[in-house]
A and B are shown apart, each in its own frame.
Chain A
Amino acid sequence: MNKTKPLTVRVSRYDPATDDAPRYETYTVDANEGARVLHVLHAIHDDLDPSLSYRYCCGSGQCGSCAVRVNGEPALACMKEAEDGMTVEPLNLPVIKDLTVDLAPLLDRLAAPATAADAQLPTKEEIEAIKPLRDCIECLSCVSECPAIKVAEFLGPTHMRQEMRIALDPRCTDDRIEKAIEEGLFTCTTCQRCVQVCPKEIRTPGKAIEKLREIANRKGLTLPRHVEVANLVRDTGRSVVRTEATFLEQVPEVIEPDAPVRGEVGFFVGCMYNGRVPQNALDMIEVMKRNGIRVIVPHDQVCCGSPLIRTGQTWVLEALKKKNIAAFESRGIATVMTMCAGCGSTLKNDYDTPFEVKDVSEILTEYGIEPPAKLDLRATYHDPCHLLRGQGISAQPRELLRMAVKEFVEMPNQCCGAGGGVRSGLPEEAAALGKLRDEEIRKTGAEIVVTICPFCEFHISENTDRPVKNICSVLLEGYREKDRRKGH
């Protein structure tokens, strides 16, 4: 009844006391049908090599002892199904031995709440608010992957989760917000990597970090640069200062395509493409024109509010939301297209819109585009956090890019450091993360870096010597090249 099959796996072995560096060992074991990674580790330990060290206890996803990386991604060994050919490595944390990492020092730093001696039972509403933050099994997968920790003084996502759990609990008497700031509250780029790897799907950036930043804001503890941005939004409806003619100033409300009309979208431009890098948005318009997509650009749209939400300054938010929704709804627009990953993620996740919101890469791949000429370049793609994790979009930009360049090379994904107000608030941290991106870019040997987020474009280009381009600009170049080759 119970079938077994042979599995060959690669396991990282390392004893810091005796080895200079980790090495991989390959093992083949007989695994039962449905075996988890943990059962494969048991088989290796019991039958092949008793010196293999790994941690586990409950075997049912409840204790958080067993997190490892399987094919590079954190997973609970006891829950993740074993696969032939998989590679098992420790989390990116200090290794004690093999797959066992040093959790205790990090766990010790989770905040301990002080409760009043006569603390009363919270109400149902209060309990329900805390519960989602309480599902954490302290596996520290999130901490092991957080980019901010690599370059800044930051305890970690789950430590912020714990701070918010305390802040929400009426029984906890001490005001810990300054502590949370000391622990690195403002260093988080809101890249959502912690959510992606959390086995309990805890939404720490949205449910804890941004909320703690709101508390900090009410106490007047917001970073000065962030306050400036909020004031600018309040006064101008925009989060960047006007330095040149804006996108909205340069285009009419309705932009008819050159080709026969195949579709129509409303365009939510966002502050960066409007005021800082309008050329990229103008390039996008050319691509739309060529592909028969009518673009409607309401001129009364304003900042989406993302810079305010991420930094905990939500007091102007409602007015912005109202204005933006009305701008598109009043024109009867069914699909709103964003080009800025941050705006897209905000409209999709923080707004309740009467229209559908799609990223430009979704629009272009759904309609299908005229193939551009392939540029004679080796290109790599940087996944913007708010596109990859905020909107779950990774295939579409690659599909487009493959059409536009001769060679496409992947690089490991990591936040560039531009998000979450870190670029403005903690520029040194942002630059350090940007440098880490540059290192990966160099490894790929790519001649250009392509992405679809104005913050990433701007920030990465400051930290690398390769040109950083928006996907629409690359497509447009491809069309121009095509025309040139045709001898137009």
Chain B
Amino acid sequence: MHADDVVRCHVLVIGSGGAGARAAVEAAAYGETVMISKTLIGKGGCTTMAEGGYNAVLRELDGCPMHVEDTLRGGAFLNDTALVDALVTEAPARMADLVRWGAVFDVTDDGQVAQRPFGGQRFPRTCYAGDRTGHEMMMTLAERLRASPVEHLQEMTVIELLRDGDRVSGAVALDRRGEMVVICADATVLATGGGTQVYDISTNSAAGTGDGYALGYRAGAELVDMEMVQFHPTGAVYPYDARGRLITEAVRGEGGILVNAAGERFMHRYDPDRMELSTRDVVARAIATEVLEGRGTVHGGVYLDVTHLSPETIEERLPIMLEQFLQFGVDIRTQPMEVAPTAHHLMGGLRITPEATTTIPGLFACGEVTGGVHGANRLGGNALADTQVFGKRAGESAGRAPVRAHSVDIAQVDAQYDRLDAFFEGTAPPSTITDRLKLAMWRDAGIFRTGAGLRSLAATLTELSAEKPKASGPANLLECCTVENMLVLSSLIVSGALLRRESRGAHVRTDLETAWPPEASPFGHTYQSIRGKGIEGVRP
């Protein structure tokens, strides 16, 4: 470890997705800011992939109270109201930032940012850039960052946070070749995004392995509601290797209908009022039930059909969907899509305050890695808004953190060297562990859960954690760290699911009666940290 391998800065932002990039833009105003990410900017994480849109109250007829209420209702009242208030009240201003910086959102004839309806919302408040909304945001933020003094360490992956006493004081990372880099910072922002790659069927990018949850957990931060995993109702089922790929909710927003193999438009049996535009948890369970009860297609899905829309509408509003399906041999202008639920979003994550502080000093967090904003189920369009609102707040809070003397604790760095060295002695190729993990998680921590299933899953996780991931060369060390992170995240999901003895939002325990509507639930957040775990509220 040479002293010149240490990067020193005021703010270290981990992750260059929507939340991290926004945090870095903000933090740069306060001092030297370094943004580090596993991927190239705009080429990694889930923000780039977000298609549908960004929720913001922009019209007279809409209102913040209505957006708050929709968010709480969608979230089965598990959301932190202070976080929801911040999200809803600031989403429009953060949208305005993007527009000011040159974002190319769709615009109406009368010169306003265009909005489309999205599930679970009583007003069409989802702003969009065709069906490449997140990509547009990332391009805008990348343009902004290119013109800023933010230093960007690309394709470097944080493997552990550094601590100075009980504070977070930076991070240890690996570059592409497996060389270690140490970064010291006065304040660190965790913006590593989500982690549904722990499931066999997932919408997430390859970066969605949940590193941040594990990094935060190991550093001592508290996480809430980790059992809350959103299964998006419409993922692709074919081809097999592309299973889980998201079919955007905008397809239903634009009028797409769901039909089972028998040709029946089945949503009337699950939510006759909102039909296809019901919340994601409801639609996902409806599709899963249709398939479980034998009314699914040969590929194990149902049909999502837009053929009643004009070809022009499809070409203009859903160009990416059209293009992707064409590549897989389906013309959605004339043929229905086949869809089934897919693991999409983690509502749980690091506990934050509205100022984006975590439970440990020196560590801030924003974006999907945090918990509490979306409660037990996220509304489509709220996550992109979340990245901007809390990204700015995290950047600002981190920027305002006091300047400190940096000192690297060699023991912590050495511990990482030891950890890495052990991988060279490992025995299991990383993919053999993750393949088994993903299947087990899908089976027992999926849409429908039982206590028995979760307990056997916990045992499987213990077994898998005992395996020793093997690095064939330095460049493979990273994959071993990732496996460890995925196992930590999975354990957090499973113990959260065992702690929550009710069905609520995305979390369904089929082995328990839930005798209350969500608003009357006696339970609050589940919480977990290295110091202990539990569920808020009293057992009835």
User: B-contacting residues of A (Cβ < 8 Å)?
Assistant: 1-2, 32-36, 39, 45-47, 50-51, 53, 55-65, 79, 96-97, 100, 103-104, 107-108, 110, 112-115, 117-119, 121-124, 127, 130-131, 134-135, 137-138, 169, 171-172
Contact = CB atoms under 8 A, between A and B. Distances in A.
B49 A63 contact: yes
A127 to B, nearest CB: 5
B111 A117 contact: no
Nearest to A56: B206
A137 B239 contact: no
Interface in B93-109: 99-102, 104-109
A119 B99 contact: yes
Nearest to A17: B177
B445 to A, nearest CB: 22
A117 B298 CA distance: 55
15 contacts: A33-B239, A35-B239, A51-B473, A56-B206, A60-B246, A104-B154, A110-B143, A112-B146, A112-B147, A114-B147, A117-B100, A127-B104, A134-B104, A135-B132, A169-B104
Interface stretch (B36-44, B305-313, B366-374, B489-497): B36-44
Contacts of A171: 100, 102
A65 B299 CA distance: 29
Contact of A59 (B104, B242, B323, B473): B242
Given A50-B472, A62-B320, A130-B104, 8 more contacts: A34-B240, A35-B239, A58-B206, A97-B475, A107-B40, A115-B101, A115-B102, A134-B104
B49 A58 contact: yes
Interface string B113-153: 10000000000000001101001100100011011000000
A341 to B, nearest CB: 30
A131 B327 CA distance: 22
B205 interface: yes
Contacts of B45: 57
B162 to A, nearest CB: 25
Residue of B39, B109, B241, B327 with highest tally of chain A CB at under 10 A: B241
A50 B476 CA distance: 7
Residue of A2, A123, A134 with highest tally of chain B CB at under 10 A: A134
A62 B49 contact: yes
A380 to B, nearest CB: 34
Contacts of A137: 135
Nearest to A62: B49
Interface in B296-333: 298-299, 320, 323-324, 327-328
B507 interface: no
B238 interface: yes
Contacts of A104: 40, 154-155
A57 B197 CA distance: 12
A171 B96 CA distance: 13
Given A46-B429, A58-B48, A104-B154, A2 B240 contact: yes
Given A62-B132, A63-B49, A172 B102 contact: yes
A136 to B, nearest CB: 8
A104 B176 CA distance: 13
A34 B241 contact: yes
B242 to A, nearest CB: 7
Interface in B361-394: none
Given A2-B240, A56-B206, A65 B39 contact: yes
Interface size range of chain B in the complex: 35 or more
B112 interface: yes
A131 B147 CA distance: 22
A51 B101 contact: no
Contact of B473 (A1, A50, A172): A50
Interface of B: 39-45, 48-49, 99-102, 104-109, 111-113, 129-130, 132, 135-136, 139, 143-144, 146-147, 154-155, 176, 205-207, 238-242, 245-246, 298-299, 320, 323-324, 327-328, 429, 431, 472-473, 475-476, 479
A50 B241 contact: no
Given A63-B205, A112-B144, A103 B40 contact: yes
The binding surface of chain B is classed by DSSP as loop
Residue of A33, A45, A97, A107 with highest tally of chain B CB at under 10 A: A107
Given A32-B241, A115-B100, A122 B44 contact: no
A47 B42 CA distance: 30
A123 B143 CA distance: 21
Contact of B106 (A1, A114, A127): A127
Residue of B49, B108, B130, B238 with highest tally of chain A CB at under 10 A: B49
A61 B328 CA distance: 12
Nearest to A60: B245
A322 to B, nearest CB: 31
B108 A124 contact: yes
B319 to A, nearest CB: 8
B327 A61 contact: yes
A406 to B, nearest CB: 42
Nearest to B476: A50
Given A59-B205, A61-B324, A127-B106, A134 B39 contact: no
A110 B40 CA distance: 14
A389 B39 CA distance: 34
B206 A79 contact: no
Nearest to B241: A39
Nearest to B207: A57
Contact of A121 (B40, B44, B113, B328): B113
Given A113-B102, A119-B99, A138 B240 contact: no
Contact of B146 (A79, A108, A117): A108
A51 B475 CA distance: 7
A100 B241 CA distance: 22
Contacts of B238: 34
A169 B39 CA distance: 29
Contact of A32 (B48, B136, B240, B324): B240
A124 B109 contact: yes
B384 to A, nearest CB: 14
A59 B111 contact: no
Contacts of A55: 43
Contacts of A62: 48-49, 132, 135, 320
A113 B143 contact: yes
Contacts of B206: 56-59
B168 to A, nearest CB: 26
B357 to A, nearest CB: 29
B196 to A, nearest CB: 13
A363 to B, nearest CB: 33
Contacts of B245: 59-60
Given A62-B320, A112-B147, A169 B49 contact: no
B147 to A, nearest CB: 4
Given A50-B472, A63-B205, A117-B100, A33 B240 contact: yes
A123 B39 contact: no
A27 to B, nearest CB: 16
B130 A138 contact: no
Contact of A64 (B43, B154, B323): B43
B428 to A, nearest CB: 12
Given A122-B107, A124-B108, A61 B99 contact: no
A282 B540 CA distance: 98
Given A50-B473, A60-B246, A137-B135, A127 B43 contact: no
A59 B207 CA distance: 11
B102 A169 contact: yes
Contacts of B240: 2, 32-35
Contacts of B107: 121-124, 127
Given A46-B431, A62-B48, A134 B102 contact: no
Contacts of A123: 107, 111
B502 to A, nearest CB: 35
A35 B104 contact: no
B43 A138 contact: yes
A61 to B, nearest CB: 6
A36 B40 contact: no
A57 B205 contact: yes
Contacts of B143: 110, 112-113
